[in-house]
């Protein structure tokens, strides 16, 4: 067929295809589809240690969408690996002493990550993800908002899409002031601003309030437009259950890139790295501050007080 096609028609088709590809690329900032491969370095510098101190650091794991190889765990002090009770996250626990002041912990991973779309759920998962959490309650306010947003929708996929659109329309991505960044659904509902943790806490609270199981995950976005460099902080997303499948959503990124709103309802791009799942992580030894809200940056407690150590994420694409 191609050999019989007039040359000018073939040239026109090639031109139109090139325009379509270029347009699609221009409309998809920040997305790597298919697979991505990179080295990820998680680095923590300890402050001056005075008195009793403990540190909890996430350890990334392989799952159905990411293959993680530990290239090097440079932890220059005694440590142990534990798992949280409810989600099975691997966590490194350190007990630094004054002589460890200023030391650097470096976790170096080699990662192959696949783009994520809806995937099958196990039969035992749903009930756990209908329960409230400390900063993600289920109350009449969320139930009323969710019922109004999803009115007239007939199945959980449609209802969740209505909640997704509601959060996009109600929230504004804004990290000014105080209160944001804790994944506080009540704060997000009232202030209507926040970061990715607040967007997704609000969505999860709405979904659970009308019987749609939903859950939280956190890690980092690997920049799509660079092959190496520093990553500016963590990123988180959510998943909900519909038709016995977990459906990923990223509402804060959709808010930033409205042309990708349809993509982010049902997909996570390949340029992601997941560190932990879930909220209110129960671990042994337990922090003095109680269950861990979520774990991306390290949690350092010194003499019962939470201290923020200097933490950096860097990456390098493999084969770039």
pLDDT in tens, 17-27: 333 333 333 34
pLDDT in tens, 74-118: 999 999 999 999 999 999 999 999 999 999 999 999 999 999 999
User: Rg for the chain (alpha carbons), in Å?
Assistant: 22
List, edge to edge, every strand of the sheet that includes 310-317. 66-74, 104-114, 35-45, 310-317, 228-231
Distances (CA, A) of 53 to 79, 96, 285: 13, 6, 12
N-to-C CA span, the chain: 37
Which residues contact residue 171 at a Cβ distance below 8 angstroms, ignoring those fewer than 6 apart? 188, 192, 193, 194, 198, 199, 202, 251, 252, 255
Asked if 186 and 137 touch (Cβ cutoff 8 Å), the reply is: yes
Task: Please give the pLDDT value at position 11.
Answer: 40
pLDDT in tens, 109-163: 999 999 999 999 988 889 999 999 999 999 999 999 999 999 999 999 999 999 9
81-86 own/partner pairs: CB under 8 Å, 24+ apart: 82/283, 82/284, 82/285, 83/283, 84/278, 84/281, 84/282, 84/283, 84/292, 85/281, 85/282, 85/283, 85/284, 86/128, 86/278, 86/280, 86/281, 86/282
Burial class (CB in 10 A: 0-12, 13-18, 19+), 23: exposed
Q: Which residue has the higher pLDDT, 25 or 291?
A: 291
**Cβ-based neighbour number of residue 88 at 10 Å:** 11
Indicate left, alpha or beta for 167 from its phi (over 0: left) and psi (-120 to 50: alpha): alpha
Rounded to 5°, angle at Cα 145 from 142 and 150: 120
Task: Please give the pLDDT value at position 319.
Answer: 77
Residue 263 clears pLDDT 90, i.e. is over it: yes
Task: Please give the pLDDT value at position 320.
Answer: 59
Domains and CATH numbers, the chain: 35-114+281-317 (2.60.40.2250), 119-268 (3.10.620.30)
Task: Please give the pLDDT value at position 48.
Answer: 98
């Amino acid at each position: 067929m191609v050999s019989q096609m007039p040359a000018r028609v073939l040239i026109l088709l090639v031109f139109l295809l090139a325009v379509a590809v270029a347009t699609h690329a221009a409309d998809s900032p920040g997305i790597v589809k298919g697979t991505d491969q990179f080295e990820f370095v998680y680095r923590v510098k300890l402050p001056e240690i005075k008195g009793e101190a403990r540190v909890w650091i996430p350890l990334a794991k392989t799952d159905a969408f990411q293959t993680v190889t530990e290239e090097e765990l440079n932890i220059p002090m005694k440590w142990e690996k534990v798992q949280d009770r409810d989600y099975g996250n691997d966590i490194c626990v350190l007990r630094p002493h004054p002589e460890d002041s200023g030391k650097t912990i470096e976790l170096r991973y080699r990662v192959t990550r696949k783009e994520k779309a809806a995937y099958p759920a196990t039969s035992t998962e749903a009930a756990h993800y209908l329960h409230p959490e400390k900063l993600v309650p289920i109350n009449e306010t969320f139930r009323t908002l969710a019922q109004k947003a999803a009115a007239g929708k007939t199945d959980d996929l449609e209802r969740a899409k209505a909640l997704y659109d509601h959060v996009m329309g109600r929230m504004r991505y804004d990290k000014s002031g105080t209160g944001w960044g804790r994944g506080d659904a009540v704060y997000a509902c009232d202030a209507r601003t926040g970061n990715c943790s607040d967007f997704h806490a609000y969505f999860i609270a709405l979904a659970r309030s009308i019987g749609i199981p939903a859950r939280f995950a956190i890690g980092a976005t690997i920049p799509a437009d660079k092959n190496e460099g520093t990553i500016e902080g963590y990123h988180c997303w959510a998943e909900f259950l519909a038709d016995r499948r977990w459906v990923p959503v990223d509402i804060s990124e959709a808010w930033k890139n409205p042309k990708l709103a349809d993509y982010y309802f049902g997909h996570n791009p390949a340029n992601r790295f997941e560190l932990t799942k879930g909220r209110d992580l129960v671990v042994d030894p337990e922090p003095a501050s109680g269950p861990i809200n979520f774990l991306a940056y390290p949690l350092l407690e010194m003499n019962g007080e939470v201290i923020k150590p200097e933490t950096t994420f860097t990456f390098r694409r493999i084969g770039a």
